[in-house]
Structure 1
Amino acid sequence: MLEIPPMEFIEYINKPVEIVWKTFINPNGWDPWFTDGMKMEVEEGGRIFFRWVRLTQGETVEDKGVTITLEPYKKWEFWWYEYEDGFRSHVLMTFQADGEKGTWVKVQDRVFTADFSELPIAFGCAYGWGQMLLLVKTYLEKQLVLI
Structure 2
Amino acid sequence: MLELKPIVFTEYIQAPIEKVWNTFVNENGWDPWFTDGMKMELKEGGKISFRWVRLTNGEIVTDSGYTVYLVQNKLWEFWWYEYEDGFRSRATMKFQRDDNKGTWITITDHTLVKNLNELEIRYGCAYGWGQMMVYAKTYIEKGLIII
Unaligned runs of 5+ in 2: none
Alignment of 1:42 onto 2:49:
no
- Report the equivalent of 2:142: 142
Q: Provide the residue aligned with 1:2 in structure 2.
A: 2
Q: Is the contact made by 1:97 and 1:104 (CA closer than 8 Å) also made in structure 2? A: yes
State percent identity of aligned pairs. Answer: 61
Residue 129 of structure 1 aligns to a residue whose secondary structure is helix
Counterpart contact for 1:77–1:92, Cα < 8 Å: yes
d(CA) in 1 for partners of 2:27, 2:88: 23
**Distance in 1 between the 2:57 and 2:101 partners?**
36
1:4, distance to aligned residue in structure 2 (A)? 1.5
SS in 1 for 2:10: strand
Preserved contact between residue 14 and residue 102 of structure 1 (Cα < 8 Å): yes
Matched pairs, number: 147
Structure 1 runs (4+) greater than 4 angstroms displaced: none
Q: Deviations over 1:29-65 (max 9, x none)?
A: 0000000000000000000000001001111110001
Structure 1 counterpart of 2:76: 76
Which TM-score applies when normalising by structure 1? 0.98
Letter in structure 2 aligned against 1:19 = K
1:2 deviation in Å?
A: 1.1
Q: Counterparts of 2:45 and 2:55 in 1: how far apart (Å)?
A: 28
CA shift at 1:100, angstroms? 5.7
List runs of 5+ in structure 1 lacking aligned partners: none
Alpha-carbon separation, structure 1, partners of 2:99 and 2:58: 41
Contact residue 16 and residue 100 of structure 1 kept, 8 A: no
Q: For 1:70, what is the secondary structure of its paired residue?
A: strand
Give the corresponding residue for 2:130.
130
SS at match of 2:82: strand
